[in-house]
Amino acid sequence: MLNPVKQDKIYRLLRQLIERGVPVDGIGIQGHWNIYMEDAAKHLDAAIQRFADLGLEVQVTEMDFSLYHHEDIESRYSRPPENLLDLQAIRYGEAFQVLRKDARMVTSVTLWGVSDAKTWLDNYPVSGRKNWPLLFDEDLQPKPAYMEVMEEAYR
């Protein structure tokens, strides 16, 4: 929910519903980001704060970090480059730092898959292109992003 126009519309709708007495308990935030989004964690934090201020339970319902820029339809990697996996680890770490800080407002975090063996980003938006957006590789081995999330959990 990094799109400010979309976020504003949803916020106004929820505020109006709550003001009318409609029971609204929570909101789910989709987090389909890429490693080039340097401010993803900052925007996630702002969205969590904003919706929690309405008294809503906040959940991150779909989280992943693509190795490709959203507009990039040219690049293709046969294997994930190490430098991009390191950047992915940084982005996951930043996001989980926010989630830990906002833990009293966030009741659930769901990653949008288990491993890179098969992800919704394979073949999307580019047919025939492999992506590696999750915490475990194709052999279910932890990636640097997993290690960063675990380190953040114990800080």
Residue 36 to residue 84: CA distance in whole angstroms:
10
pTM of the model: 0.93
In a domain, 6, yes or no: no
Cβ neighbours of residue 100 under 8 Å, at least 6 residues apart?
152, 153, 155
pLDDT at 84: 98
Number of CB atoms found within 10 A of residue 118's CB: 10
Would you say 98 and 43 are in contact if contact means Cβ atoms under 8 Å apart?
no
In a domain, 122, yes or no: yes
Domain assignment of residue 67, given as a range: 26-153
Residue 87 to residue 134: CA distance in whole angstroms:
13
Number of CB atoms found within 10 A of residue 66's CB: 23
What Å distances lie between residue 60 and 6, 84, 137, 145, CA to CA? 16, 23, 22, 17
Would you say 90 and 57 are in contact if contact means Cβ atoms under 8 Å apart?
no
Residue 132 to residue 11: CA distance in whole angstroms:
32
Token duo for residue 8: 């504003």
Please name which of 101, 102, 133 lies closest in space to residue 117, comparing C-alpha atoms. 133
Give the chain's residues under pLDDT 50. none
In a domain, 136, yes or no: yes
Number of CB atoms found within 10 A of residue 61's CB: 14
CATH code, 78:
3.20.20.80
Beta bridge partners of residue 136, listed in sequence order = 115, 142
pLDDT at 153: 85
The number of domains in the chain is 1
In a domain, 42, yes or no: yes
pLDDT in tens, 37-81: 999 999 999 999 999 999 999 999 999 999 999 899 999 999 999
In a domain, 71, yes or no: yes
Rounded to 5 degrees, φ, ψ at 33 are: -110, 175
In a domain, 126, yes or no: yes
